Amino acid sequence: MNKKKYILVLDLDETLFHTSGNNLYIRPGAVDFIKSLYPYFYLIVFTAATKNYADEMLDKIGISNYFLKKFYRQHLTKSGYKDLKTVLRFLIQEKVKYHNKLIKGGSNFKKSNYINELMNINNNILFDKDNNINFNNIIIIDNLVENFKDSQSANGINIIDFTIDKKDNCLKMIKEFLLQMVFLKTKNVREYLCNNLYFISKYIKYIPTSNFTLPIKIIAGNKKNSKRTVKPKSNVKPAAKSDVKPAAKSVVKLKKKNN
């Protein structure tokens, strides 16, 4: 049974790791974050970095194979931000392409792990009831607020920057926040985020100002199925940057960094 009901788009630099010179500093909890969410999310990389650089970093960390697709610098919009429509349209086009190949090839068509996972994406994740691109099942985690624009402003978790703080626990807390969403079988991630992001305000930079209605039991622990409207807190200040130097074991030496 396919447990994956959502798409999670992840930035790399200052979100999952930080590089300085020939050193790679992995954000604490990054590997556990990926492995824990993999059974429930279709994981996507979307980075402003080059393909060679991004692939090298993911290989160094050992998490490259967990991602269904990777988007790089060339996939940014002309204004330089990450558009979630790019991700959704690509997945739709790929599903159509391989569906047609499967029909033509029949039993002779060999499906890779990539094709199997792609074909397993439920159409309801990609389309709404009116057959439009569906933004209700996709989340982007990024440290740059510029990537939370227009129609996707309520789809983001604007995580604070990571540099070299070995005590950073942002990914741990966001992981639990997202697993709670999965447990509650949330049908609209935009509502869930706007109603509940303030619970993790210490680990993010801003919260959308929209108001949605969600069951009280989501975070409050009330077992009743009644609902309430929650006004998310705004103007959340980012956590202070730490001057703690990295532990030696968290540093991976790099041969060369491609800009």
Q: 64-97, pLDDT tens digit by residue?
A: 999 999 999 999 999 999 999 999 999 999 999 9
> Could you say which residues of the chain have pLDDT below 50?
212-250, 256-259
For residue 192, the tally of other CB atoms under 10 A from its CB is 23
In a domain, 161, yes or no: yes
What's the chain look like in SS3? Answer: CCCCCEEEEECCECCCEEEECCEEEECCCHHHHHHHHCCCEEEEEECCCCHHHHHHHHHHHCCHHHCCEEECHHHCCCCCCCCHHHHHHHHHHHHHHHHHHHHHHHHHCCCCHHHHHHHCCCHHHHECCCCCECCCCEEEEECCHHHCCHHHCCCEEEECCCCCCCCCCHHHHHHHHHHHHHHCCCCCHHHHHHHHHHHHHHHECCCCCCCEEEEHHHCCCCCCCCEEEECCCCCCCCCCCCCCCCCHHHEEECCCCCC
Write 210-214 long-range contacts (CB < 8 A, 24+).
210/154, 212/188
In a domain, 259, yes or no: no
Decide if 151 contacts 135 (C-beta within 8 A): yes
pTM of the model: 0.82
In a domain, 143, yes or no: yes
In a domain, 258, yes or no: no
Q: Which two tokens stand for residue 152?
A: 């996707």
Domain CATH code at residue 238: 3.40.50.1000
Whole-number Cα distances in Å, 93 to 131, 151, 233: 14, 21, 38
pLDDT the model gives residue 232: 42
In a domain, 1, yes or no: no
pLDDT the model gives residue 133: 94
pLDDT the model gives residue 209: 66
- Give the range of the structural domain holding residue 19, as residue numbers without chain letter: 6-253
pLDDT the model gives residue 251: 57
Total count of domains within the chain:
1
In a domain, 43, yes or no: yes
Give the whole-angstrom CA distance, residue 24 versus residue 14. Answer: 11
In a domain, 112, yes or no: yes
pLDDT the model gives residue 210: 56
CA atoms within a 13 Å half-sphere pointing along the CA-CB vector of 244: 13
Give the whole-angstrom CA distance, residue 42 versus residue 238. Answer: 28
In a domain, 206, yes or no: yes
pLDDT the model gives residue 52: 97
pLDDT the model gives residue 175: 98
Residues in contact with 258: Cβ distance below 8 Å, sequence separation at least 6, in sequence order: 49, 50, 52, 53, 56
pLDDT the model gives residue 151: 82
